[in-house]
Structure 1
Amino acid sequence: MHVQIGFELMLESVAPTPTVAITQPRSTEGQRILGPCLSITPEMPLHTYNDSFGNIVWRWTAPQGMQRIHYDAIAEVASLADPVLPDLPGTPVDQLPDAVLLYTLPSRYCPSDMVLNDAWQLFGGVPDGWPRVQAICDWAYRSVAYVAGSSTGTTSGYDVYLSRRGVCRDFAHLGVMFCRALSIPARYVCGYLPDINVPVNPEPMDFHAWFEAYLGGAWRTFDARHNQPRIGRVVIAHGRDAVDTAILTSYGASILTGMTVWAHERPDLTLLGEQKAQR
């Protein structure tokens, strides 16, 4: 299926400001990005590179005054909802790939070492693997209230565990933190999540955050915020936590004054693609 994705950011800087953004999805085995279109006003050189997690990073110097960044693309993704594989077992730590071990360790927003005892008390009786990760999502969905504006850029998964309220990034950090406390590799993911086959959210759209757990030899999608399989996810970036996937980082006095995000199904393009495939 095809999903139209994009955003517009408005920045205001009091002086030329080095700026970094992680906002462009990359084509992978699970998604293909078609016809990306980027415009920056006023125009300026943009340097692009891949970070240590493989995310696409933009780097430029924002000028003094206002700047507009507009991005639009079509994402070709699976038409099925997130897979549910309840029989997937866990993987003993000594059998994990070297590159995955990093995701068993505490990080800034996922201090798993602070909830070791609680994690085992809450979820230690659940079979390892998919059932245990799903139990974490079920608990977070029941126990934590989604409250817009209830957290800040410094709120950690442990803070959310104590306060029992947060936004999507907090639910993701909470899931990652508990997984790691149980020696299950987990990583933070940010991207787009359109409202497909679910009630349309009347609130302005934002980027979404969820997490992936390493089960059965691959990364598997879990979303503690919604706690149900969803259709049309488009991954922008992944990392240890939100530090590694920050949408925008300014090295100076630069303020984000406006942001618009969109993600919606394009059935006309999907139908056109099916017709071409039949010819």
Structure 2
Amino acid sequence: MPVTVKAHIAYRFCQPTDFLLQMEAAPIPEQILTGPGLATSDSAHFARVPGQDDIGHRIWLRVNGDFTADYTITADVQRTLADIATLEALEPHQLPGETVPYLFDSRFCPADRFHSFVDAEFPDLKGGARIVAIHDWVASNFTYEPGSSIATTTALDSFVERRGVCRDYAHVVVTMARASAIPARYVSCYAPGVDPQDFHAVAEVFLADPSGEPGTGNWHIIDATKMADPAKTVKIGVGRDAAEVSFLTSYGMAEMLDKQIEVTTA
């Protein structure tokens, strides 16, 4: 499924400032990228570094003054989708090593606080069936409300208030999945149908491969906002939560001047 992405950001830095930029789609097998790519204004430093799990890239920049970045690509999304409800979870001792960090608590995802809730709310469900139930519970009980959360809002905060934006929905799904001993990570992405259109966030969970081969599994996109179709979602990067995969992380004062995101299908 071809998806066209056009993104523009503009910032002002009042003194020389280092920041990480992560707004390019990840060049991974499930999405083939073509197009002009990224163009930035002048900077004193520009260096790419690998993204988390080698998915995508971050860019270190150092800028003093106004900065702009424009990004245009077409992504041919070739993701294999599965009937998640039919998939089993791997027992924790069977998990590949690279998935283990996604079982632990992180800054915005206090999974340890949710063990009793998921066991009481989904007592007879395991694996993919529990993930589908978590998705449906969040989708039914939360209200999508722009401006209702802030940069420090955690999954526990969102759970109490029952509202948020894509970031918050993803954090809650990730947290409940980890509380169920299912590895889960936060994914930044582009997706058509997001309203209002912006950088988007979804969850991704690791479940057993249908082949039944011991210790093998795959990551699957879960979006409780119901705005992102996994077949049309273009991944940017992954992390334990939003702190690790922000489109811009500044190590100094930064003023946003403009942001425009356009994501369309052919």
For the criterion TM > 0.5, the same-fold answer is yes
Please say if residues 141 and 224 of structure 1, whose CA atoms lie closer than 8 Å, have aligned partners that are also in contact: yes
The one of 124, 128, 133 aligned to 1:135: 133
- How many percent identity over aligned positions? 30
Find runs of 4+ consecutive structure 1 residues off by over 3 angstroms.
Answer: 42-45, 227-231
Partner residue, 1:150: 148
Unaligned residue ranges in structure 2 (runs of 5+): 209-216
| Aligned mates of 2:58, 2:108 — CA distance in 1 | 21
CA distance in 1, matches of 2:229, 2:91: 26
What is the distance in 1 between the residues matched to 2:84 and 2:161? 31
Cα gap change, 1:49 to 1:258, in 2 (>3 Å)? same
Aligned to 1:40: 40
2:176 equivalent in structure 1: 178
Q: Does structure 2 retain, via aligned residues, the 8 Å contact 1:138–1:227?
A: no
Match of 2:102 in 1: 103
> What are the equivalent positions in structure 2 for 1:1-279 lying under 5 Å apart?
1-42=1-42, 44-54=44-54, 55-64=56-65, 66-78=66-78, 82-126=81-125, 128-195=126-193, 201=195, 203=196, 205-216=197-208, 217-226=217-226, 229-266=229-266
TM-score between both structures, scaled by the size of structure 2? 0.91
CA RMSD of aligned residues (A): 1.8
- For the structure 1 residues 93 and 170, does the alpha-carbon distance in structure 2 shift closer, same or farther, using more than 3 Å as the test? same
User: How many pairs align?
Assistant: 257
Q: Given that residues 211 and 221 in structure 1 are in contact (C-alpha distance below 8 angstroms), is that contact kept between their aligned partners in structure 2?
A: yes
Which of the pair has more CA radius of gyration?
1
Retained in 1: the 8 A contact 2:6–2:263? yes
Alpha-carbon shift at residue 15 of structure 1 (Å):
1.0
Q: Structure 1 residues 49 and 36, CA, compared in 2 at 3 Å: closer, same or farther? A: farther
Letter of the structure 1 residue corresponding to residue 143 of structure 2: A
Distance 2:43 2:82 in 1: 42
List runs of 5+ in structure 1 lacking aligned partners.
267-279
In 2: Cα distance, 1:103 partner to 1:162 partner: 23
TM-score with structure 1 length normalisation? 0.87
Q: Do the aligned partners of 2:190 and 2:199 also contact (CA within 8 Å) in 1?
A: yes
* Cα displacement (A) at 1:188: 0.6
1:20-62 deviation line (CA, Å, top 9, x unaligned): 1111112212111112432222455421110342130011112
Query: Partner amino acid for 1:206?
Result: D
Shift of residue 114 of structure 1? Answer: 1.1
Aligned-residue offset at 1:6: 2.6
| Amino acid paired to 1:165 | R
The alpha carbon displacement at 1:228 in A equals 7.7
CA contact (8 A) 2:102 2:185 kept: yes
> What is the alpha-carbon distance in structure 2 between the residues aligned to residue 59 and residue 230 of structure 1?
29
Q: Is 2:192–2:228's contact at 8 Å kept on the other side of the alignment?
A: no
